[in-house]
Structure 1
Amino acid sequence: MKSIISILALLLSLGLQAQTALYNSGNIRIHDEGQIGFHTDLINNASFDQNLGLAGFYGSSMISVSGAFMPVFYDTEIANDNGVMLNTGMSVSSNTNFVAGNFMTPRAQRDIYFNFLQDAFYVGEADLSKVDGYVTINNEQNFIFPVGDAQQLRSLTLNSSATNTFAKCAYYLENATNPATFPESFDPTKKPRTMGDISQVEFWHLEGSVSSSIQISWNARSNMAALTEDVTKIIPVGWSIGGRSWVNLGAASLVGDLTQGFLISDNFVPDNYAVITFASEATAKELLTLDNYLVTPNGDGVNDALYIEELELSDDDIITIYNRNGQKVYQESNYTNGFTGYSNLNNIVIDRAAGLPNGVYFYIIEMKDLKLNYQGYLYLEH
């Protein structure tokens, strides 16, 4: 029969009925198939790492784990609706059983975490039982981090190209561009022009030195409709630490609708990014803010041709240029920066070889595949 030790019974046997915590100074060990149930706080001020059997956290009042040493358990489980607050880290070498309640870590102290040692695993994770804070892994190539906030499980799946000696993850129900508890904010304007809105609801902090892809999901609380009307435009993005800007991490696959779904990213190195969240690809209308242009074909390498970057977004475009009298002087399908101040038409009384005269010209652009039309003017000066 398994030996079952209740902390309350242990305290009574030691004559410490008035004590509100169990202080470990080096005289506790869980033997093979043994069980110990914590119903009170644990203050661990000595090595507590030669354990086998099960360490459970039970009751209806929040339990705190603190002290100078990180306890290392073999199997552990939580069945406490008010959770277990880790004020020092905790390691597990075998199984963690999530029954009820959260293991919680202070996000402001990222060196405190729930640590899965090599080959450790877990069962039972759910909205009501997970890690509300930081989770770490050791010597694993692939892992699903059972992280979330107080209300929801918001797992992140890490699939790496090699073994991660150490990796860390936490979920934040906060606006990444102006977070409440994360120590840095991330400017939403620092992004490529092909990126649309960035989530103001949630983000993940992921650390790892191995090239990896991730899988993250969204649900109704994620409010994807605020980012885009087209689910296929959802992308994973990260704040580049070196580049000091948002980067599209690439969506290798995507499943779902605006209410719920998930995506898998392209490979990237997590340590290169401070936070990860969702954004949208910019729509053609968001991207296409065509300007008025200057063309100075004098051979100095600046504005020698009419260059309209936005046309690269279209695979079926036509540009037509008119002089101020309404005469068509240039037309090209699938434009490739061909206008250098010369007409390519024969229907006007102008010496094509001499070039068009200086002055104001008007352009019309049709992007048939995007169902968009634009017009503006350019100034030509030889």
Structure 2
Amino acid sequence: MKATIITIGDEILIGQIVDTNSAWMGQQLNNVGVSVYEIITINDDRVHILSAFAKAEQQSDLVLITGGLGPTKDDVTKSTICEYFDDELVLNQTVLEHIENIFSKYVKDAILPANRDQALVPSKARILHNDYGTAPGLWMEKNDTIFVSMPGVPFEMKGIMTSGVLPEIIKKGNLPFIHHRTMITAGVGESTIAKRIEAWENALPETIKLAYLPSSGMVRLRLSSIGMDRVEVETSVAAQVKALYDLIGDIIVGESNGESLVHTVFNLLKEKRKTIATAESCTGGKIANLITEIPGASTVFKGSTITYATQSKIDILGIEGKLIDENSVVSAEVATAMAAQARVKFKSDIAIATTGNAGPSKGDSDAEVGTVYIGIADENGAEACKFLMGNNRERVVQKTVNKSLELLQKILIKK
């Protein structure tokens, strides 16, 4: 089964919001054996929507649409769906009661006619209940192609996908098994890796594809295969993974198993029954934010300080002013002390600290822009490592976050 994902909204096209819906839907479809053929974003325009629908129908078995279902005049998706399916809008009493219930429980403002109009749905559509909002999902079929229209609000879309869309797709059966294994490498660039594994890559079976996924401070190597026999697919990929470890095991720091590095660290913390705290300066709380975005983070995360200014490191973490004066605020000594103090302050098993010059100016330190120290403290003591992350502020911060997670992963694997 092939799918096309269409996101509708001028706000995406002008960069006002980032389309996270497509990435999430792509992951979920992949998990059940549906291949995504194309992802496109279009504006809330009747002609554009009709053109996109027609193209998607020709190339896909499943078309997932998000956005354009709101109660305002600029949302034209429902009326355009009716035009495409030669249908008309009718009042759905169940949806109306749901809307009225939401307003009575959670909304102080009076319900408006525009809100009630969200209960107007195409007569041919199967209604997909929206637990978290007023606009229902719509399931329609044309010439053996399934069209599903959902709200653009991420948590509403996810609820409809999880409860109403994915189970129906799975019921149709005969879906292949799509398998990925992703190795995380660090310390070596993409071109160097490609040179080292050139012969191996050239000899890969046609059924297995390799993708290089570079990011700040690391390169992920993803092996992918698809087939109806799960055991056969997994076995063939495992054999190539073993060969890859034989070639570049010295730079492979772990596997993501389709998850981000922070999820890998989170799962290791849970598995090892360890807790963590952070003391962040140049990363501004980004490490803590990534961890706490994961449901259940409270089981492993104790707390964080964002001691951005030099004085806050003294006042909040208790770093001695003399230590900073003698070594600079961007130094191994300060990073080590920050990690050690955070571990004590939050009573965690592990603590990680960052201090550095992200640029464009040097700030309170004489260290060159891009200089970063990452400190880690655990039951064996505390230490810090120095890194040179370049001269682009955004890149310095992101590389520091990635390197911090990589160091945590290495430590946790050994515990």
Same fold? TM cut 0.5: no
Larger Rg: 1
Structure with the bigger RCO (C-alpha within 8 Å, sep 6+) is: 2
Relative to total residues, which structure has the larger strand share, 1 or 2?
A: 1
Relative to total residues, which structure has the larger helix share, 1 or 2?
A: 2
Normalising by the smaller structure, the TM-score range is under 0.3
